[in-house]
Amino acid sequence: MELKRRSLLAAIGAGTAAAALSGCGTGSTAAGSADGPAEGEITLLTPIYENANGKTLLEKEILGGFRKKYPDVKVNVDYTTYAQLNEKITTGMAGGLLPDVLMMGVGWIPPFAAKKAIAPLPEKFATAHDYEKRVLEPSRYDGKLYALPVVLDTRIVVYRKDHFAEAGIKKTPANWAELRAVAKQLTKDGRIGFDPFSIDLRQCWETFLFANGGQLFSADGKKVLFTDNRGVEALQFFKDLIKDGSASYAKKTALGEPANVQTGKASMMMTSSALWEQVRLQNPELLKDDKLGAFVLANRKPAMLQGGTLVTQSASSKHPAAARALVQYLATPESILGAAKQRGSVPGLKDLNESGYVKENKFVDLSLQNMSAACSEGGTPAWMEIREKIKPTLEPAIVGDQSAKDAIAELGRLAEAAIGRM
């Protein structure tokens, strides 16, 4: 499946270039002015608001409110999945028919802003609400604001309080040495002490890289920085855990499968804030008995990967005023709170810190309290190509004999080549 997906992305990349060269790309659509009244028929492309609840939330509640405020705007919703979002956007770009409003992931703004597929937003949008300081960073490219955050998805460590108590462990690990020792101590009777692999390997390694004080790219996105010792140590740590027997790649769980801390097969795991929602549905007794705790990974510094979904506006929209109005509306506290609740995600507005939802979901609360430790992936226009290569390049070091140093060097070469092509 992944091979097919990579093949498609490669083909799409090549095709987009060809389309751009032949002049049949976005140029065929004349963009209008954003200064006029908000009116017309626009399309929203979204990878979130999935399932029946999500559709009702978006189409009835959120867009219901939007229709009242902007009665002359008709919004058509085009649902897709995150797995196919890039294909959907890229083919739309190649065909010169991008949806007017697009929702995309953290790290995606520089690639599409650099291609001039999305339009900058007025800077006043950045101060319209009380954003956590670094929440807007992934929304910017080249100093300009291109998107507004809808929901954040943080990566934290969740642990079993009952396992810790049984082993007499009183505090959560403050650095990797402690994490490794605790994981070893908790590994027994077929249970692993720490499961770093049940979330996406790319996001997991990035969290370890950031916690080790490393960075992915330079501020201008032109230099690869993860190839230093910090990146290698982050990957080597996984190998060390496997060597100790306190982590196992074979025991990783698939998306949606009960996580290893849920089933008691692991005492700690890397996960996203959305795990709370999954546990609430699948193992409510764990929350009732207060068996789950969470902490932010730390080594040289505490770090929490901040992913999420942003909303942005197509540069080629024929109804830019309507599109801009929708972008603004989707990022209001009411819309954000609804989306965060539905997905178990983190709302990135300080206005919502005291809301009942935040106080009830402990993982979200922890994430909001530690936003100063949040770091985002991406930062280069070549990100869409590089992100696809991280997992398959690092995996051989984890499951095979390749050294961490060689795997990181190989990934560095691939990333430099991708940046060189921009």
Among 76, 218, 369, 372, binds other proteins (CB under 8 A): 76
76, 42 in Cβ contact below 8 A?
yes
> In angstroms, what is the minimal distance from the CB of 307 to other proteins?
10
Span from 126-134, 139-147, 169-177, 253-261 in contact with other proteins (CB under 8 A): 253-261
Of 39, 65, 74, 88, the one binding other proteins by CB under 8 A: 88
Report 41-60 residues binding other proteins (CB under 8 A).
43, 47-48, 50-52, 54-55
82 binds other proteins per the rule CB under 8 A = yes
Cβ atoms of residues 106 and 307 within 8 Å: yes
392 interacts with other proteins by CB under 8 A = no
Taking CB under 8 A as the binding criterion, the range among 79-87, 113-121, 131-139, 396-404 that sits at the site for other proteins is 79-87
Count of residues that interact with other proteins, criterion CB under 8 A: 53
Closest to other proteins by CB, 38 vs 151, is: 151
Which whole-number Å values give the CA distances from 59 to 308, 324, 345, in the listed order?
A: 21, 18, 19
Whole-number Å distance between alpha carbons of 73 and 327: 13
User: Closest separation between CB of residue 48 and other proteins, Å?
Assistant: 7
370 within 8 A of 298, measured Cβ to Cβ: no
Q: Which of residues 256-275 bind other proteins (CB under 8 A)?
A: 256, 258, 262-264, 272, 274
Q: Is position 367 an interface residue for other proteins (rule: CB under 8 A)?
A: no
Contact code string over 326-355 relative to other proteins, x by CB under 8 A: -----------------xxx----------
**Dihedral over alpha carbons 292, 198, 107, 86 (to 10 degrees):** -130
The CA-based dihedral angle spanning residues 298, 299, 303, 305, taken in that order and rounded to the nearest 10 degrees: -100
By beta-carbon proximity to other proteins, the closer residue of 81 and 229 is: 81
Of 83 and 177, nearer to other proteins (C-beta) is 83
Binding mask 193-232 for other proteins (x = CB under 8 A): ----------------------------------------
The residue among 153 and 233 lying less far from other proteins, judged by its C-beta, is 153
- List the beta bridge partners of residue 76: 43
Q: Can you tell me the distance from the alpha carbon of 306 to that of 273, in angstroms, rounded to the nearest whole number?
A: 10
Interface stretch with other proteins, choices 86-94, 140-148, 177-185, 328-336 (CB under 8 A): 86-94
Interaction of residue 32 with other proteins, rule CB under 8 A? no
> Which residues contact other proteins by CB under 8 A?
4-5, 7-8, 11-12, 14-16, 19, 24, 28, 43, 47-48, 50-52, 54-55, 76, 78-82, 84, 87-88, 91, 94-97, 99, 153, 255-256, 258, 262-264, 272, 274, 277-278, 281-284, 343-345
